[in-house]
Amino acid sequence: MDIKEIIVVEGRDDTQAVQRAVRCETIETHGFGMPEDMWKSLDTAYRNRGLIILTDPDHAGDGIRKRIKERYPDSKEAFLPRSRAIKGRDVGVENARPEDIREALAKARAEEADSAGEITREMFEEAGLDGVPGSRRRREQTADILGVAYGNARALLARINAFGITREEFNEAVRSISDQADKE
């Protein structure tokens, strides 16, 4: 699988994991410090090829992602669920299996500029994603299926709408979760 855009990761181990999964070029942030020469490289990559942000599913990764999105708003974002990026107590892209990285990159999306939001709060609640026992687990599964970062009910609903996820995609994800639960 060839990736046209430049993938932004946090470090060298992340680059190695991503390049085991796909043919691509990466730019490493080396943590939250983000030196000026990295920003210059990102400027060029964003202008010429586009960016996909793939940071660790932790607080630091979220902060790095936010800084990059502020400067490059049309960047795509790829998300790995925590459960697929953990080894012992270490959480990071470098721990993910190649197939999980490929799946995250295949689901990479850019925020919709004028997303009115097809998914309503009521739909979210009817799907059991808020306010009922097990709703946190259902949100985790939904985020995983849709390829967006997990969040509390309000944050996940906003993210789903920001990424332009359609009712059809949302409903299919909810059905998939229900089918899994029925099998268990």
> Which pLDDT score is estimated for 3?
94
Calculate mean pLDDT across residues 16-36: 93
> Which pLDDT score is estimated for 40?
95
Q: Where are the domains of the chain?
A: 2-110, 121-183
Q: How many CA atoms lie within 13 A of 111 on its CB side?
A: 17
Calculate mean pLDDT across residues 51-75: 94
Percent pLDDT > 90 in the chain is: 66
Q: Could you tell me the fold of the domain covering 2-110?
A: Dna Topoisomerase Vi A Subunit; Chain: A, domain 2 (3.40.1360)
Q: Which among 179, 128, 173, 116 is positioned nearest to 153, based on CA atoms?
A: 128
pLDDT, tens digit, for every residue of 79-109? 998 889 999 999 999 999 999 999 999 999 8
62-66, 93-97, 109-113, 172-176: which range is least confident on average?
109-113
CA-to-CA separations, 41 to 26, 44, 89, 134, in angstroms, rounded: 10, 5, 32, 44
The CA distance from 51 to 160, in Å, is 20
